[in-house]
Amino acid sequence: MNITRLTPNNVSQYIGHEIIFKTRNNHIVKRIVGVSNCGKTITIEHADLKNNLQIVTRKVYVIL
pTM for the whole structure: 0.90
Q: Is the dihedral of CA 37, 39, 40, 42 positive or negative?
A: positive
Chain segment 6-29, per-residue pLDDT in tens: 999 999 999 999 999 999 999 999
* Each residue's pLDDT tens digit, 25-56: 999 999 999 999 999 999 999 999 999 999 99
**Sign, CA torsion 48/57/63/42:** positive
* Per-residue pLDDT at 58: 94
Residue 1 has pLDDT above 90, yes or no: no
DSSP 22-44: EETTEEEEEE--EE-SSSSEEE-
Return contacts of 46-54, CB within 8 angstroms, 24+ apart. 48/23, 48/24, 49/23, 53/21
> What DSSP character marks residue 48?
G
> Domains in the chain, ordered, with CATH?
3-63 (2.30.30)
Residue 48 has what pLDDT?
94
Give the pLDDT of residue 10: 96
